[in-house]
Structure 1
C-alpha cells in the first residue's frame, strides 16, 4: 500500500469518526485536537437522537440551558464548519434543544450566523422580546435583509422592467421601436416567395418607457407560524417592487386579522417587524380587504402567499377569487416563497383554485422575478406553474 493510499484510508476513517460520533470511538479511536473539538460540538447537538433520556443527557452535558454555553458553542461551530453547515446546525439546535427562549439574549444574537430561518424565529418572538434584545435583533434582521436585497434586487428589476416594456407594445411603432422577431412571426402568412421575404401588414413594437404606473401589485401574505420564511422573502420582494415607479405595490399580511404594511415598504426591516408570526388564518377576510386595493382590475396582479389552510369562510374565499379573475385581475397563489421546497398545504383548496384557472404552487425566490414577468405579460400562468414544478 502506497503512502497516498494510507493517507486516503486515514482521511476516510477520520471522516467516518466525525459522522458516527462517540459510538465509533472503540473501532476508530478517539477524535483528537481540532477533530475532537468538532466532535464535541456535534455531540452536544446530535448525540442521543431518538432517545429521550439520551437527548436530556446531551443537553445537560453539552449545551444545557445556559446562554453563555450556547453562545460559546455557536462561536465554535462558526469556527469549525462552513456557513451553510452552521445555518443547518443553528436551526437544528433551536428545534431539538428548545433554545428559542435563549434567542432573547443579546449575547446569543451576537454569536449566531444570520439567515432567513433565524429571522423567522426572531419575528415570532417579537411580541415577547425585551427592549435590551431588540437592537441586536434588528441588526441580525438588517444583515439578512441586505443580503437578500443584493441577491434578488437586480434580477427583479430587470425581469419586471423588461416585461412592462414588452407588455406596452404598440401596433404603429416607430422604426426604432419595431420588435422584428414578433413582427415576422405575426406576418409569416404574408411571405412572398418571389421576393424571398415577408411583407408585413402589421408591425409590432415596444412601447416607449413611461414613468406612469403601469401595474397595481398586491402581495397578500399569510403570517401563520409555518409561513415564516415566506414572510421574510415576501417582505423584501415587496420593498424592491415598491421602489419601482412603474408599479403601485401594496403589502397586506394576515392571520385572523389583516394589517396593511404598505406605508412601511421604504424600510423592509420595519416591514418585517410589523408582522406578527403565529396565530390562526382567515384568508377570506384578507382577500376581501385586498380587493379594495385593486381599483384597475385589468392592470392588477394579486399574489396570495399562503398554505391555504383556511379558518374563515371557504366558499366566500373561492367566490371572491372567481370574481377577481372574472374582472381581469391576474391572480397567483404561492404555497410558499422560499428555498425549502414543496410545503404542506390544503390540497382541496389548491384544486378548487386550479379549477378557477388560478395556479397554486411553491416558488423559490430565484424564480419569483420571472413569475412576476409572466403575470405582467398575462401569460398562461397555469402552464407556467406546470413548467416551474416539473
Structure 2
C-alpha cells in the first residue's frame, strides 16, 4: 500500500469515517488498522449508542447483529498504548471523559495514573467525584492540584498588576523611582534653566517621578459562582482567581457556590483545591436566592463592594426576585458584574435574554477569558 498514493488516502478516510464507510471503502484497512478502528470505535461509537442508534444491526436486519464483543477498558487502554502515540491517547481519553462522560475509564489503574492535568479533564473528574472510590478521589485531588498550580502561575502576575496598585498621574514626587516612572513633563519644566545651548542638551538635576499609590481602601470582592453541571470549567478558573485575589493587599474575598442550594466556602478561599473538592456539580439554578444570600451575609459597605456573578444566567426560579435583588444592590452602589464565561476559550453559552434583563437592572455583563477578568474588575475599582 503506497505511503502517499490514493490507497493511503482511502485508508485514512476509512479510519476517520469508521464502520459506516465499510461498503464504500471495503478492503482499505487490514491488520493493525482494523485494531485501531475497533479501539477508536470503543470511544467514538459511544456517541451513537447514547443517541439510541444500534451499531450492531445491519441495514437489512431487524434483529441480531455482527458487532464484535466490546473490549473492556483495560483491554482498550492496552490497545491504544500499543497502536497510537501518547499524544493521540491523551486526546481520546479527554474526549471519553469530557465529551461522552465515560467515567468507566477511571476504573483502569493505568489510565487513571496517566491522566494529564488539564482543565477539561478536571471538569469531567469533578463531575464524577461523588461516585468515585477513594483511589479515584485521590487522583482527582492530584489532578486538581496540578491544574491549580499551572493556572495560578499563569494568572497571578497579571492579576496582581491589575488590582494591587496603579501610578497616580496627577501627582509627582522627588523621591527616587524607576526610570519608567519619571514624570517627563514636570522634570523638563523644572530643569529648563539647565539648558546647555552649546551641547544642545538639557541637564536634568531635579528628576520628578509619578507618585506610586496602592489601593488601601477596604474593597470586598464577592464571587458568587454557579455550580450547576454546565459550569465546571468556570468553577475551576473562579476558584483559582479567588485564591489569587485573596493574597492582594486591602482586598477581602468571599466565595459562594450555588445551584438551588448555597455553599459558602469563604473560609477555604485560599485553597482552591479544597474548594474544588467540595463542589457538587449538577442540580438546578436559583440565582436570586444566591444573590440575596450574598447581600445579607457579605455586603457590609456597599460602595466598597464588588459582587461578581459567574453563571450561564439560566435561572430556574422565578426571575422577579433575582431582578429585585440586583436593583436593590445597584441602588446601594454595589458594583455588580455578571460573567458569562471564565474559561480560556471564551466560548460563552448563556441565556442572552436573562443577561439583558440583568444589565437593565444594573449589572455589567461580559464574557471574558481569565486573562481579561482582572483588568475588568480593576476597571470597576478605579
Contact 1:341 1:362 in 2 (8 A): yes
Q: Does 1:331 align with 2:336?
A: yes
Give the 3-state SS of the residue equivalent to 2:55 in structure 1.
helix
| Alpha-carbon distance in 1 for matches of 2:67, 2:166 | 58
Give the 3-state SS of the residue equivalent to 1:208 in structure 2.
strand
What is the aligned partner in structure 2 of residue 274 from structure 1? Answer: 278
| Alpha-carbon distance in 2 for matches of 1:113, 1:207 | 43
Contact 2:239 2:272 in 1 (8 A): yes
When residues 333 and 16 of structure 1 are mapped into structure 2, their CA distance, relative to the original with a 3 A threshold, is: same
What is the aligned partner in structure 1 of residue 166 from structure 2? Answer: 165
What is the aligned partner in structure 2 of residue 136 from structure 1? Answer: 139
Pairwise CA distance, 1:362: 2.5
| Alpha-carbon distance in 2 for matches of 1:141, 1:74 | 25
Higher helix share: 1
Provide, for residues 314-357 of structure 1, a one-character-per-residue CA deviation record: whole Å limited to 9, x for no partner.
22221221222222222111122124544443333211112134
| 1:18 aligned to which of 15, 19, 26 | 15
| Alpha-carbon distance in 1 for matches of 2:307, 2:128 | 29
Provide, for residues 263-287 of structure 1, a one-character-per-residue CA deviation record: whole Å limited to 9, x for no partner.
1122211110111111122212211
When residues 182 and 289 of structure 1 are mapped into structure 2, their CA distance, relative to the original with a 3 A threshold, is: farther
Contact 1:220 1:302 in 2 (8 A): yes
Provide, for residues 125-169 of structure 1, a one-character-per-residue CA deviation record: whole Å limited to 9, x for no partner.
3333222322122112222222222332222222223xx325xx3
- Ranges in structure 1 where 5+ consecutive residues have no aligned partner: 184-202, 378-390
Query: In terms of Rg, which structure is larger?
Result: 2
| Alpha-carbon distance in 2 for matches of 1:342, 1:329 | 28
Q: Does 1:265 align with 2:269?
A: yes
Structure 1 residues 199-210: aligned runs within 5 Å = 206-209=211-214
Pairwise CA distance, 1:245: 2.5
Q: Does 1:69 align with 2:75?
A: yes
Q: Does 1:315 align with 2:314?
A: no
Aligned length: 344
When residues 41 and 249 of structure 1 are mapped into structure 2, their CA distance, relative to the original with a 3 A threshold, is: same
Structure 1 residues 1-390: aligned runs within 5 Å = 7=4, 12-22=9-19, 24=21, 27=25, 29-31=27-29, 38-47=36-45, 49=48, 52-54=53-55, 61-63=69-71, 66-72=72-78, 75=81, 79-82=85-88, 85-86=91-92, 88-91=94-97, 94-95=100-101, 99-103=102-106, 106-161=109-164, 164-166=165-167, 169=168, 171-175=170-174, 206-209=211-214, 212=216, 214-291=218-295, 292-339=297-344, 341-377=346-382
**What TM-score, normalized to structure 1?**
0.74
When residues 126 and 21 of structure 1 are mapped into structure 2, their CA distance, relative to the original with a 3 A threshold, is: closer
Give the 3-state SS of the residue equivalent to 1:253 in structure 2.
strand
Give the 3-state SS of the residue equivalent to 2:367 in structure 1.
strand
Give the 3-state SS of the residue equivalent to 2:328 in structure 1.
helix
Higher mean displacement: 278-287 or 220-229: 278-287
Provide, for residues 105-139 of structure 1, a one-character-per-residue CA deviation record: whole Å limited to 9, x for no partner.
65542243332233222222333322232212211
Pairwise CA distance, 1:12: 4.3
When residues 28 and 278 of structure 1 are mapped into structure 2, their CA distance, relative to the original with a 3 A threshold, is: same
When residues 61 and 281 of structure 1 are mapped into structure 2, their CA distance, relative to the original with a 3 A threshold, is: same
| Alpha-carbon distance in 1 for matches of 2:80, 2:302 | 50
Give the 3-state SS of the residue equivalent to 1:333 in structure 2.
strand
Provide, for residues 341-389 of structure 1, a one-character-per-residue CA deviation record: whole Å limited to 9, x for no partner.
4444333321111213423232222332322232223xxxxxxxxxxxx
